[in-house]
Structures are given as C-alpha cells and as structure tokens.
Amino acid sequence: MADQEACSRIEQRSVIKFLVAEGCKPVEIHRRMSTVYGATCFSRKNVYKWAKLFKEGRSSVEDEDRPGRPTEVRSPEVIESVIDLIQSDRRVTVDDIARTLSLSVGTAHKIVHDDLGYSKVSCRWVPKMLTPEHKQRRVELSQQCLCRYEKDGDEFLKKVVTCDETWVWHYEPESKRQSMEWKHVGSPVKKKFKSQRSTRKVMLTVFWDMQGPITISFLEKGSTVNSANYCELLRQVKKDIKNKRRGHQSEGVILHHDNARPHTAARTVQTINELGWELLPHPPYSPDLAPSDFHLFGPLKAFTRGTKFESDDEVKSVVSDWLRHQSKDFYAEGIRKLVHRWEKCVTVLGDYV
C-alpha cells in the first residue's frame, strides 16, 4: 500500500511537471488532474506548490533526503553514552542527556528508565551522620533485643512500655500532599497560600504499650522537662499501670525510652530501679528504633495539621481523644514493628532503617 501511494505521488508530480512544461496554469492543472485522479488527486495547495517548484527549475519528482535523526537511535553505543553521562553526574536531567546526545526527550527518557532501569530519587534525611562506633552500638543492642525476643516471643513485647515527648502546635499548616483532592477536567484549580505554624505549642509525653496509652501527660507552662519532673511522671505511670493493666505489674515492666538527658540522669535510673522495672537498651541517635517516633507521632501530627486550636486545653483534649480512640491493633503493630527494625538494623550493619 505504501509503495502504491509513493508511485501515485511520483506519477502526479510527473504530470504536473509535464503540464507546466506545456505552459498550463496551476488552476488548469488541478482541474484536469481532479478529473483523472478523483479523490486521490493532490490538493490544490499541493499542486500549486509543485507547479511553482518545477517552474523555478526543479527537475526531480522524487522526495529529497531529509536531515532527520535515524530511525534507530537506542543503539548500544548511545545507551553506553547515557550510562557515562549518568555516572559522571548523578544529578543530570533527562533534558540535559537529550541535548548532549542530540536525542529527543522521549527517547532519552526511554533509555534511562526502560533500558537502564534508573529512577531519580531524593536524598533521605537522617538525624545524624552515624560514626562506626554508633553503628556498632546499634547492631549490638539490636542483637540483644532480638535474642530476648527469640527466647520469650510476644511475652517479651507485651511487657514493653515505651514513651517519648513531642511538641503539638496550636496551628501547623497541612502538607501539600494532604491538600490533594479529586478534580474533574473542567474544575477550577485551587490555590494554597503559604502559612507558618504558630509559636504557641504544648509538650506531650505519652507512655503506651501493646494495648494502648497508659499515661498521657502535658507539660505545664513555665516548666521544663528535667529529671525531677520525669521521675514524678514515672511514679504516676506505675499507678496507672496498676489501675489499667491489672496483672501487668506482677509480670514485670520493660521500660523503653530514648537517651534524652532527663531519661539517662542518675536520679532517673535510680527511680526506675526503685520501681522494679527493667530498662530496654536504646542506642543513641536512633529515632528509627523508637516506636513513638516511627509509628505514633506521625499519624498524630497528620491528624492535627490544618486545625487551629484556640487554647492549650483544646489541644490537650483533641490529642488525648485521638490517642484513646486508636485501636489496640494500632498500638500492638507499633510495638511489633520493633522486631523488624532490629532485624533490619543488623542487616544494614547499624545504618538507619
């Protein structure tokens, strides 16, 4: 079919060339050709174009070679050149690759993603650049906890009471991702204006286990988180465990918290011993191994984002209700994730999981 179309084009151009040589005008040429070729005849514009070319001295009725790209550009040599560009600059863009190698952006994109399997990702933010000593400590403590879990299973996890502190702001703008909503093609585009979070905030401290929150506490205005306040809070937690977790006291409590100064002070360690609790070891600079950080506070902050609280009491009420209304499965999942994270910490040789 394609060959027939090419022959038809060349044939009609030959006719135009002959009639131009006879001195026919383009309008007459198009009329005569329409009578012969019917629906397959060149358009008036095309007839005029070729009549003008032949009148100006063109002799060939064939298509001229076009200076375009070759059909096959995803050759091994081109792919190798793309690899060299990426390895020399990991931040090079697809547009830069296309421009450098004289490729179309679509072809460059196919080579990078389909042929080479590359994908561009952002760097991962981590709390601290861990030293070899930090990594070794993380591996050792993770292995200790895994050995304990292999020995006691879920009975070990059921004894774990974890805690941490976090700020809850009176207003924190919702993230761009949170503002996403379904939009029809004809719907107007919504705008989102930049806003800053408030300066007013409340310090939350929460103790929880596999069954849910045990103690929810908010720091009073003018107070600071220090060893004295934390020890008083630990004594309150013991009372709450006695009231809310009957039998838990006799089974033993394994307290898990991070290495903040109030948690590691000599007075705090003494209080934990007086309470008869065991302390679960936690490596420094390791929020990725703290259930409150990797499981609890994220959903809580997502819930409060975009809400404007008028007072500290309103913040306390909303946060307390949210914590109490999460299911037991939610809290149990957070504690059980510790096992996977300890395993992964060992696998990656102490790096962040």
pLDDT tens sequence across 61-83? 887 766 655 555 788 889 999 99
Q: Who wins on pLDDT, 203 or 251?
A: 203
* Span of 169-173, 215-219, 338-342 with lowest mean pLDDT: 169-173
State the pLDDT at residue 227.
93
Q: Which one, of 281, 277, 270, lies nearest residue 253 by Cα?
A: 277
Q: Which one, of 12, 49, 46, 52, lies nearest residue 32 by Cα?
A: 12
Domain-embedded: residue 70:
no
Domain shared by 40 and 148, yes or no = no
Domain shared by 88 and 236, yes or no = no
Domain shared by 210 and 313, yes or no = yes
Q: Which tokens hold the place of 32? A: 């005569």
Domain-embedded: residue 127:
no
Domain shared by 36 and 153, yes or no = no
| Residues 296/302, Cβ–Cβ less than 8 Å | no
Averaged pLDDT of the chain: 89
pLDDT band of residue 4 (cuts 50, 70, 90) is: very low
Q: What are the residues whose beta carbons fall under 8 Å from the beta carbon of 73, sequence distance 6 or more? A: 103, 104, 107
User: How many CB atoms are located within 10 Å of the residue 149 CB?
Assistant: 18
State the pLDDT at residue 188.
81
Domain shared by 269 and 171, yes or no = yes
Domain shared by 174 and 37, yes or no = no
Share of residues in the chain with pLDDT > 90 (%): 67
Q: For residue 63, report the phi and psi dihedrals to the nearest 5 degrees.
A: -70, 140
Domain-embedded: residue 101:
yes
State the pLDDT at residue 189.
77
Reply yes or no on whether the pLDDT at 6 is more than 60: no
State the pLDDT at residue 2.
43
Domain shared by 334 and 216, yes or no = yes
Domain shared by 14 and 105, yes or no = no
Domain-embedded: residue 92:
yes
Domain that holds residue 95: 76-115
State the pLDDT at residue 72.
55
Domain-embedded: residue 123:
no
Domain shared by 104 and 209, yes or no = no
Which amino acid does the sequence have at 154? D
Q: What is the dihedral of CA 62, 64, 68, 72, to 10 degrees?
A: 40
Domain-embedded: residue 230:
yes
Q: Which tokens hold the place of 16? A: 């135009």
Helices (H) and strands (E) in the chain, counts: 16, 5
305: domain CATH number is 3.30.420.10
State the pLDDT at residue 248.
65
pLDDT band of residue 5 (cuts 50, 70, 90) is: low
- pLDDT tens, position by position, 78-110: 999 999 999 999 999 999 999 999 899 999 999
| Residues 245/211, Cβ–Cβ less than 8 Å | yes
Q: Domain count for the chain, please give it.
A: 3
Domain shared by 204 and 306, yes or no = yes
DSSP conformation class of 353: -
Q: How far apart, in whole angstroms, are the C-alpha atoms of residue 344 and residue 187?
A: 46
Domain shared by 14 and 101, yes or no = no
Domain-embedded: residue 94:
yes
State the pLDDT at residue 225.
86
CA distance readout (Å), 269 to 162, 206, 228: 16, 19, 12
Q: H helices of 89-226, where?
A: 94-101, 105-110, 132-152, 154-158
State the pLDDT at residue 66.
63
- pLDDT tens, position by position, 103-142: 999 999 999 999 999 998 888 888 899 999 999 999 999 9
Domain shared by 315 and 283, yes or no = yes
Q: How far apart, in whole angstroms, are the C-alpha atoms of residue 225 and residue 260?
A: 10
Q: Which one, of 51, 107, 59, 52, lies nearest residue 82 by Cα?
A: 107
State the pLDDT at residue 261.
93
Strand 254-256 and strand 160-169: pairing? parallel
Reply yes or no on whether the pLDDT at 7 is more than 60: no
